Structure 1
Amino acid sequence: MKKTAFSFEFFPPKTADGIEKLRENRAKLAQYNPEFFSVTFGAGGSTRDRTMDTVLEIHQEGFQAAPHISCVSASKEEIRELLKTYQERGIKRLVALRGDVPSGEVSAGDFKYAVELVEFIRAETGNQFHIEVAAYPEFHPEARTPKADLLNLKRKVDAGANSAITQYFYNADAYFRFVDQCQTAGVNVPIVPGIMPIYNITQLARFSSVCGADIPRWLKMRLEEYGEDIDSLRAFGVDVVSELCETLQAWGVPSLHFYTLNRSTMICKIIENISEK
């Protein structure tokens, strides 16, 4: 079996303690020689400076760093300035997203959809960046229909996206069907599965309700059985996610992208599990 590549997503820490903890966890994940570390971008650009600081620190450590760039509430000049800075600092990869609308925000800025951002990046910088975009095996929560969601991904790829990272899922068949549909629609770029470790049921349910990811009934009921026994829940979660990753590996996925929540312990256990096979 081909050796699986990994990438890891972080969010920019708010405190000095958070920065130090992220450094520690990043060092633990670095042992797996990731393709890149990505760093999220808060709603409406609310973490812009912290995102850039984190990205540049990762880059200075000798790793590929991929900043998220979201276009909601952003002007073309703001995005142009970001792109220029990243070009000057040697960043080669971007994650281009529409982004979340900030609470109470009225203006949407110069961009309405991620495809417009991808088009703008290509127009401004040519092929200087590898552009990742988002994909949704279980459909974007705002999509009118599954077909409309797929066509939206195709437009982003046609505009110049090099690959896509999916929202997390726990049903491998949803991913397999989605990739088949992408190929039929002429979306011929790598579709990298996003992987979310299970830390607790409340957090997972909250995330899933926002992003449209399905928690299968059997999984939800098993997690609820653990109640306040978080250690046992997480041990079970490691087994579930490890099995999911093994299924994806056997199918031949291009790589695995982990949503770390700035943690490393469970992800290290999952990677060790799937590397032992």
Structure 2
Amino acid sequence: MKFSLEFYISKKNLLELINFKKIINIKIKFITITYNNFKLNKKIINYFLKKKNNVLPHIICKNNIKYFNYLINLYYTNNIKNIMIIKGDEKICNFYYCYNFLNIIKNNYKNIFNIYLGIYTEFHQNNLKNIYDFKNNIIKKNIFFKSIFISQYIYDFNSYCYFYDDLNKIKKNIKIIPGIMPINCLKKIISFSNICKSNLPIWLIKKLSNNFFKKKNFNKINIEINCNIICKMKKFKIKFIHFYTMNKTKIINNIFSFLINNFNF
């Protein structure tokens, strides 16, 4: 099974991001870098390029066309073949949707980049007709056939199975990498899941709530929950998993250690 990690950039966590390989004890296929601000992203991407790390930078649709062209040319000249385009949470602008940027790439950089796109396996916070929208705006328009999708985090694996089955009825062999995110703050994950209409199983909330003030128990249960989901994915013959690290590399490493020691990964 292959793994990738996502980090978000801030001035406070640059050192941890740079040194993540010293903490993580399992081979990583690539890391994705979320978009924060133009100068900061440029700095960290250039650093990883010099270190010859396999990096997959985010391009968020709030960018204006000037920055977008600069970033695309930067990646092209440095032989970065993988990029991730996400809509972001900004108000509507000229480049509000992913397909705006995808059409530019399709016209000017044909067959050069491997495009990764974010996807919700349940509902998008701005669109409750998830499968319908996916079918009509993605499959039908024939824009994303060569793209790879990375899903939002999953705590209810059944949701992923239902979504995957529905997609297979529309188009076979669509590549979806499921997302995993350790729960650092139960209150925040409940709030964000409510916004995204993502399912948090009741048993999960109760189990973590009962151990919320017992840090060791909370961390242990957190690790077990994520490892059990990963094992279900393995049985489902999923071969690639993406971790939303929230910059908590030690928790991610503990998950990997638990998988190696208990599930023969």
Pair in the same fold by TM > 0.5: yes
Identity over aligned residues, as a percent? 23
Q: Residue 261 in 1 paired to residue 246 in 2?
A: yes
Q: Report how far residue 160 of structure 1 moved.
A: 5.1
Q: Hey, what's the Cα distance between the residues in 1 that align with 2:251 and 2:141?
A: 33
Counterpart pick for 2:81 among 80, 92, 98:
92
Counterpart pick for 1:36 among 26, 30, 35:
30
Q: Residue 78 in 1 paired to residue 67 in 2?
A: yes
Instruction: Specify the alignment match of 1:6 in structure 2.
Output: 3
Counterpart pick for 1:122 among 103, 106, 130:
106
Structure 2: tracts of 5 or more residues without a match: none
Q: Residue 22 in 1 paired to residue 17 in 2?
A: yes
Structure 1: tracts of 5 or more residues without a match: none
Please say if residues 140 and 149 of structure 1, whose CA atoms lie closer than 8 Å, have aligned partners that are also in contact.
Answer: no
Q: TM-score, normalised by structure 1?
A: 0.86
The within-5 A match list for 1:1-277 is 4-15=1-12, 18-29=13-24, 31-42=25-36, 47-72=37-62, 74-101=63-90, 108-151=92-135, 152-154=137-139, 158-159=143-144, 161-186=146-171, 188-276=173-261, 277=263
Please say if residues 192 and 257 of structure 1, whose CA atoms lie closer than 8 Å, have aligned partners that are also in contact.
Answer: yes
Q: Report how far residue 146 of structure 1 moved.
A: 3.2
Q: Hey, what's the Cα distance between the residues in 1 that align with 2:61 and 2:141?
A: 14
RMSD value, Cα? 2.0
Q: Report how far residue 62 of structure 1 moved.
A: 2.2
Please say if residues 193 and 256 of structure 1, whose CA atoms lie closer than 8 Å, have aligned partners that are also in contact.
Answer: yes
Higher relative contact order (CA 8 A, sep 6+): 2
- Cα separation, partners in 2 of 1:156 and 1:100, compared to 1, 3 Å: farther
Q: Which amino acid aligns with 2:104?
A: F
- Cα separation, partners in 2 of 1:192 and 1:136, compared to 1, 3 Å: same
3-state SS of paired residue (1:158): coil
- Cα separation, partners in 2 of 1:154 and 1:85, compared to 1, 3 Å: same
- 1:137-188, CA deviations, whole angstroms, 9 ceiling, x for partnerless residues? 1121211423334324536863455210000011111111111111211163
Please say if residues 37 and 65 of structure 1, whose CA atoms lie closer than 8 Å, have aligned partners that are also in contact.
Answer: yes
Q: TM-score, normalised by structure 2?
A: 0.90
